[in-house]
Amino acid sequence: MRAVIQRVSRASVTVDGDVSGQIDRGILVLLGVGPDDTEASGAWLAAKVANLRIFSDESGKMNDSVLDCGGGVLVVSQFTLYGDCRKGRRPSFVGAAHPDIAEPLYERFCQQLTSAGVVGVQRGVFGANMQVSLDNDGPVTLVIDSP
């Protein structure tokens, strides 16, 4: 799995004019699933996201996790994270998992975040055309690939 995570002061995702998920302070996760990913990949990534120390503590150092600060996590599926742009001008997405594989792993990843202790897990709509709005805090943006 591949995730682009952004520390946000707020984020939301809208589908056909309706808000499907929104958070205040927390993490926006853009999640891509590869064809070889498993539930174990998701469990590792969920634990990493939940415990990653990217929030400032009382002394202003990045020592707190989203669990420590009580923030939410908004998860948005994004197969384009597996886009290959090395040849030509049009990206190839053959490196992304087929939706039959990706959707259950996306849903399971959201459940694994909850199991890891994140209380405010929100999500986009898998496979939909989504409008994502966010205020990146910092900015703090990281890319994480599961082992």
Active site residue 80: yes
Active site residue 78: yes
Choose, from 78, 109, 112, 122, the residue flagged as catalytic: 78
CA pair distance 121, 91, nearest whole angstrom: 31
Strand (E) or helix (H) holding 40? helix 39-51
Q: How many CB atoms lie within 10 A of CB 78?
A: 21
CB of 8 closer than 8 Å to CB of 135:
yes
Choose, from 79, 109, 112, 122, the residue flagged as catalytic: 79
CA pair distance 40, 3, nearest whole angstrom: 15
Q: Say which residues have a Cβ less than 8 Å from residue 5's Cβ, sequence separation at least 6.
A: 27, 28, 29, 30, 49, 52, 54, 141, 142, 143, 144
Q: Which two three-digit tokens encode residue 69?
A: 């600060």
Residues noted as catalytic: 78-80
